[in-house]
A and B are shown apart, each in its own frame.
Chain A
Amino acid sequence: MLKEALEKIGAEAAEELKNISDSKQLEDLRVRLLGKKGELTAILKQMGGLSAEERPVIGQLANKVRADIEEQIEARKTALKDELTAKKLKSEVIDVTLPGKSQKVGKLHPLTIVLNEVKDIFTGMGFDIVDGPEVETDHYCFEALNMPKSHPARDTQDTFYINENVVLRTQTSSVQIRTMENRKPPIRIISPGRVYRCDTVDATHSPLFHQIEGLVIDKGVTMADLCGTLELLMKRLYGDDCKIRLRPHHFPYTEPSAEVDVMCYNCNGAGCPLCKNEGYIELLGAGMVHPKVLEGCGIDPEVYSGFAFGVGLERIVMRRFGITDMRLLYENDLRFLEQF
């Protein structure tokens, strides 16, 4: 008789479980059937009246029924949870195409982007970066660079004067002189910074612009080293197939002097309107440091030699980003700044 009762509980449980739709009902069912005061327990309490032979048989059956029910409840529980999760997820669908919330990172000015790049290239080549004053004495800006007061080359650099002896530096070569006076060779530096010339503002001129000048002084530095260094710089800046071309020129502070053209990035040297059909674009000035300049800084030109070069940062930046009007760089319109 107990056997029938147990089997009945098992069968009823299976039937009821089918209709259960939430976790509370499920828990209620579990307590009703398997709890301390539950139906199964009630039946087991009657086992005392059984014979010694029947007892283990019924006991075994009771355990099996219990295990079955527990298993079924557990399975139902998992199914209910899955249903619930699926429902919740469905209710939480959003439009992922709505715009994201702004977490803006600022942008560097295009001049700084390229300047930092150039600085990194040079520090990688063992050049120190040296800064110096922008308001500079005539001595450091001109005299020490082999340009005495009556020198005609001064006319090519229209200078802003503060007084007879103080100017806004027209080049960062002044920093090179200061460095040569203070350091002993070997010297390997670049001096980037703001320079000033009386040029009226237009698309390609600004009274204030940036120059990066380099200086290397050591025993046995050659013009071939200058050519090699410049080519390396241009390859790093413009890619490995970039070529340079040197033309003789004149600067009072270098001898020999050269103007350096870089292959037009637009036409790769074939000639196009951008390079005025030249295939090359003028980019920098360079040369071997004039012995008079070395001497003036207390460096013996019989022992040491060196080279120097200078390049306008704006020109590189404009080429890099295809900017056609220099004024944009100093206007600081956010619609411009945010493009880089």
Chain B
Amino acid sequence: MDLSMKWLSDYVKVDEPIKKFCYDMTMSGSKVERFDTEGEEISNVVVGKVLSVVPHEDSDHLVVCQVDVGKGEPIQIVTGAQNIHGGEVVPVALDGSTLPKGIKIKKGKLRGVESNGMLCSLGELGLTVHDFPYAIEDGIFVLQDEEGCEPIKIGEDIRDAIGLNDTCVEFEITSNRPDCMSVIGLAREAGATFDVPVELKKPEYKGVGGDIDADLSVEVKNTELCTRYAAALVKNVKIGPSPRWMRERLRGCGVRPINNLVDITNYVMLEYGHPMHAFDLRYVSGNKIVVRNADKGEKITTLDGIERELSEEMLVIADAEKPVAVAGVMGGEYSGIMDDTTTVVFEAACFNGASVRTTAKKLGMRTDASSRFEKGLDAENCYDALMRACQLVEMLGAGEVLTKIIDKDYSDKTPKCVDFDSKWINNFLGTDIPESDMIKYLDKLGFEVKDGKAYAPKWRIDIEVKADIAEEVARIYGYNNIPLTIIRGVAQAKLTPEQKYTRKLERTMLSIGCNEISTYSFVSPKNFDKIRIPADSPLRKTVVITNPLGEDTSVMRTTIIPSMCEVLARNYNYRNAVARLYEIGNEYIPVSGKELPDEPARLAIGMYGNNVDFYDIKGAVDEIMEEMGIMDYDVTACAEGCPIEEYVAFHPGRSAIVTKGDTVLAIMGELHPETLENYEIGVKAYVAKLLIPEMMSVSVTEKTYKPLPKFPATTRDLSVVCDDSITVASLEKAIKNAVGKILEKVTLFDVYKGSQIAEGKKSVSFSISMRSMESTLTDEQADAAMKRVLKAMTEFGAELRA
């Protein structure tokens, strides 16, 4: 809401500097976004009178003027304007003056003739013909005295002479206060804020007699959605420009003046906060207005020239044949005021806010009117607005108002009231405000307090509960006068096991040198193709956003892997040579039969550069598993039917899943060359995804001390030659089983393929450490264990290396 301070001062006198006004209004609840002083950029421009005009000797389009600027001697100014002939009163920019858009005027010579300034056009003063309808766009702005304004004086500052001296304050009004979307509403707030009287008069008009019923009938068919419909008729309309005071106030509130009738409706809307509609009686077929729901499939061409199809729940203003306006949203084509309009119907009505909102949204046209109606407007104010419009018509001599009006009123007249209990309010706010102060504040805001009740003024549609009264008191008392206290009582806070687990994961990731990233949870469905997910994969069943910003953020991710790939790609593209990254984030998995998806937490790891290979990412995963208390898990190569769908994103020979029993914990590996290509990553990159809830389910978080060994360990080395296809893990497992209880540790120390080993074979060497907790192992015990190991090895076709 833009507010003209001139207009405000019609109702309330606030004697404060503008900055203080804005600050205090903000602090009492009407937030000021900014303020602009009109004509601020204009300086040293005065009213001058052109005394004489002679042609320029060296030019056929320039003239030389002598101008009286009220300083005794006239000054000489050269101009190229065609509408200056002598005798005109004009704006004169003197030497050293400034104009809008940073223009500076200095004296100088034009084709050898001295010019001591410039005669200004409307445009040069930042104005248009809407502001001064009597002036012309193309030429010097020739000033005229206007009715109701001080006569223009030679030498006077131009801003004062033409009323270009308003201050426009922009308020951000919250949706619960549609009453403040008006000059009067803000005047009331200013009155309460600065503790000054607000002068409001009930608008009245004289009328010329006559019977409206002869010309117009109104029927409200849906009194739920239209609680009041008031109409007045104006005959013998004289369309013309509005007077300057009205144009100034409209301009100060950011509205362009058009003509007297249109300006009146806008003026009333700004002043009272109630949208008005004016339409030409000629186009009301059957001289009948029906407020009704639209028929199914009914169409209307709105003022903006677009044909719109209506639906049954929408409320329309119709004549005997067709809808002429969408109630509270927009008028129909031809319904507006034309130059040859002679009889005008003024409508002020009250429509159901929710209905207007739904209609406007459905038709995709939110208008100034609809945005006011949808917040809920006061039915009594609607009548005042119509009265004011009639009054203005008479003041402006814009037509003859018939004395009788139509007023169909179905509104609820019960005043809103809530309990008033000063003790409760103080307890609720934590304050100690005297009851008499509270009553004073409320009175200023239009409330009436009596018998333990606060009666809200009719325009306060937002008052419903006693907390609302507490807010009224608090904001006038001043939020910042409320003391600062600390909540009492003891509360025990602790992290949930999940939160603790995540914190520990975080610490682990940092200590293994990974940087945390944070990516969007919505992604492009194209990601599935990029990581080679088959068309029928369940991963492609996503939570889809119906109104996304774009395709690339249109579905909630069902896999965190593409997010990591994208970040790896971006860093590769930025020529960051090495990357070690992790993210803890959610996946969003639709569950059939459930309204909301599952949102399991995942840990993604990504790395490239520094000659990393599969064993780096595996090492990272091993470290995490150990740190998180997961022991004895299995790592197996990914194969067809892998329980983690994303396995196809990886190199088939360099990827693995981690499981413990039946629980799948992670997938890791080198990205498939095609995946790398799709993301334009030019180096080998490694990615892992760890399933956090699954990990938690198998983590042993409680640690118990195991006594340190008292007896020495016996270590035996073992080198075997076996088929290349046999995994080290399977040999290791066999060794563990074969050694049994006395096994302390099996450590792989060499894998060799090459000249001394047959083709298709490899040599694998382990160091086997054995220890008993009860006694020193004998050689015989160790030998026996090794014998069992060798036997186990032969089952793999592995032989002791010669």
Contacts and interface: CB of A to CB of B under 8 A. Distances in A.
Contacts of B493: 122-129, 188
Interface string B479-518: 1101111111111111110110001001001111111111
Contacts of B353: 150, 152
Contacts of A191: none
A131 B501 CA distance: 14
A335 B521 contact: no
A123 B597 contact: no
Interface string B517-529: 1111110000000
Contacts of B579: 334
For B375, B487, B498, B586, which residue has the most chain A Cβ atoms within 10 angstroms? Answer: B487
Given A108-B506, A188-B491, A221-B487, A338 B467 contact: no
B236 interface: no
B428 A223 contact: yes
A130 to B, nearest CB: 8
A257 interface: yes
B595 A134 contact: no
A126 B490 CA distance: 7
A160 B374 contact: no
Interface residues of B, number: 87
Interface string B571-602: 10010100111100010100000011101000
A290 B225 CA distance: 28
Nearest to A155: B175
A305 B479 contact: no
A127 B503 CA distance: 17
B172 to A, nearest CB: 9
Contacts of B663: none
A288 B474 CA distance: 12
A45 interface: no
A106 B582 contact: yes
B510 A105 contact: yes
Interface in A305-320: 305
Contacts of A103: 513
Interface stretch (A28-36, A89-97, A245-253): A245-253
A150 B576 contact: no
Nearest to A190: B493
Contacts of A246: 479-480, 482
Contact size range, A: 35 or more
A300 B595 CA distance: 29
A112 B489 CA distance: 30
B517 A256 contact: no
A325 to B, nearest CB: 15
Contact of B519 (A127, A232, A255, A332): A332
Given A222-B429, A225-B487, A335-B576, A126 B357 contact: no
Interface in A212-227: 216, 218, 220-225, 227
Contact of B544 (A162, A221, A228): A162
B543 interface: yes
Contact of A224 (B375, B431, B468, B556): B431
B517 A135 contact: no
B518 A104 contact: no
B487 A194 contact: no
Contact of A137 (B26, B510, B596): B596
A230 B690 CA distance: 38
Contacts of A221: 487
Interface in A46-70: none
A225 B515 contact: no
Interface string A156-189: 1000111101101000000000000000001010
B430 interface: yes
Contact of B518 (A106, A247, A256, A332): A332
Interface string A248-291: 11101001111100000000000000000000000000001011
Contacts of A105: 510-511, 513
B9 interface: no
A135 B175 contact: no
Contacts of B596: 133, 135-137, 166
B599 A216 contact: no
Given A129-B499, A133-B599, A227 B511 contact: no
Given A126-B490, A207-B549, A232-B486, A250 B599 contact: no
Contacts of A207: 520, 522, 549, 553
Contacts of B177: 250
A100 to B, nearest CB: 15
A135 B779 CA distance: 65
A196 B548 CA distance: 11
A210 to B, nearest CB: 9
Contacts of B374: 150, 152
Interface string B351-382: 00111011000000000000000110000000
Nearest to B510: A106
Interface stretch (B27-35, B69-77, B325-333): B27-35
B174 interface: yes
B479 A248 contact: yes
A17 interface: no
B475 A137 contact: no
A156 B580 CA distance: 40
Contact of B546 (A163, A258, A291, A330): A163
B430 A222 contact: yes
A153 interface: yes
Nearest to A333: B574
Nearest to B546: A161
A77 interface: no
B59 interface: no
Contacts of B514: 106
Nearest to B466: A291
A133 to B, nearest CB: 6
Contacts of A122: 493
A224 B521 contact: no
Contact of A152 (B357, B474, B499): B357
A198 interface: yes
B220 to A, nearest CB: 21
A19 interface: no
A313 to B, nearest CB: 11
Given A108-B516, A152-B357, A247 B26 contact: yes
B485 A224 contact: yes
A13 interface: no
Given A135-B556, A250-B177, A106 B509 contact: yes
Given A106-B513, A109-B518, A334-B576, A224 B484 contact: yes
A229 B488 CA distance: 11
B61 to A, nearest CB: 46
B551 to A, nearest CB: 13
B567 interface: yes
Contacts of A112: 506, 516, 518
B515 A334 contact: yes
A85 interface: no
Contacts of B553: 207
B547 interface: yes
A150 B27 contact: no
A107 interface: yes
Contact of A162 (B471, B475, B545): B545
Given A136-B596, A245-B480, A256-B467, A225 B485 contact: yes
22 contacts: A106-B514, A106-B515, A106-B516, A106-B582, A126-B492, A127-B491, A128-B493, A128-B494, A133-B596, A134-B599, A150-B374, A162-B545, A166-B595, A186-B489, A208-B521, A223-B431, A227-B483, A228-B483, A245-B480, A250-B174, A332-B571, A334-B576
> Which 4 pairs from chain A and chain B are nearest by CB?
A224-B430, A222-B430, A126-B491, A150-B354
Interface of A: 103-109, 111-112, 116, 122-129, 131, 133-137, 150, 152-153, 155-156, 160-163, 165-166, 168, 186, 188, 194, 196, 198, 200-201, 207-208, 216, 218, 220-225, 227-229, 231-232, 245-250, 252, 255-259, 288, 290-292, 305, 329-335, 337-338
Given A168-B545, A305-B428, A329-B518, 8 more contacts: A135-B599, A168-B522, A207-B520, A223-B470, A248-B474, A252-B176, A258-B479, A335-B576
